[in-house]
Structure 1
């Protein structure tokens, strides 16, 4: 999924499999998804990979991208990723992407959650909906 604005700032995310793909217990095997991505911020770009979403979280993310209203914030159990919709118009959506802990830029290491590095992303509405569709298709491959 690509959430990168016209100015080149944003993130690309993909599901990189289950955290425990070989576990005998199916509940453990499908409990966490490995999320890999690249962030593009005003200060530079970097890549990350961590068990950051559950399969239901992934489904919820796609739905949120389609239906969130300005002022809505999406957070998860693992605080690595958050999204806030700061504005939504007919042709443009503005997201504030929060990247914390293992998703933080390499120059900003800290050990406590709650102070994410934020990236504003100005997206066309069409690009946002395409990203939601891409994410929904990808997360459907990883049921929980």
Structure 2
């Protein structure tokens, strides 16, 4: 299953590939890392990454956050006093994060924060701070709910071990 957040110019496709360690190792922490594959398309260009960046419990937070954003329960995130944007939802590995950039009655602008292995190849030499590279995607609220449902279906194959 793929979760696709996209508008006419920008898109982020997330897919769960599998556990980082297919065989359990007897370590509840290491046994629960999930590999995420992503394809990102922006007006600047397109790129892909694959990284073990979410724990199984963290992965469940993604659909919860998408549903909350669709329902209006997530507030718009403004830049801090230094002009930096921080995600509302972030994870142990600082590769992905999510925040709400704007909302209307019909749609929301989802900001996907990308760091480390997830930033575009042409920006990897930059000294960009963590989570400061972001992709904004305008998504209708129904599409957010659909993406959350797809994510949950994909997660069903990857229970906590």
Any gaps of 5 or more consecutive residues in structure 2? Answer: 78-87
Structure 1 partner of 2:75 = 70
1:127 corresponds to 2:143: yes
* 8 Å Cα contact 1:80-1:101 kept in structure 2: yes
Aligned length: 143
Any gaps of 5 or more consecutive residues in structure 1? Answer: none
SS in 1 for 2:122: coil
Q: How far 1:63 sits from its partner (Å)?
A: 0.6
SS in 2 for 1:23: coil
In 2, Cα distance between equivalents of 1:116 and 1:141: 32
Structure 1 partner of 2:4 = 2
1:78-93 equivalent positions in 2, closer than 5 A: 78-93=93-108
In 1, Cα distance between equivalents of 2:134 and 2:30: 32
Structure 2 partner of 1:118 = 134
In 2, Cα distance between equivalents of 1:98 and 1:130: 21
In 2, Cα distance between equivalents of 1:28 and 1:109: 28
* 8 Å Cα contact 2:97-2:131 kept in structure 1: no
Q: How far 1:14 sits from its partner (Å)?
A: 0.6
* 8 Å Cα contact 1:33-1:53 kept in structure 2: yes
Say which is worse superposed, 66-75 or 117-126, in terms of deviation. Answer: 66-75
* 8 Å Cα contact 1:10-1:97 kept in structure 2: no
Q: Deviations over 1:52-79 (max 9, x none)?
A: 0000111111011001312261111111
In 2, Cα distance between equivalents of 1:114 and 1:29: 23
TM-score (norm 2): 0.81
* 8 Å Cα contact 2:34-2:56 kept in structure 1: yes
In 1, Cα distance between equivalents of 2:132 and 2:11: 14
Structure 1 partner of 2:85 = none
TM-score (norm 1): 0.90
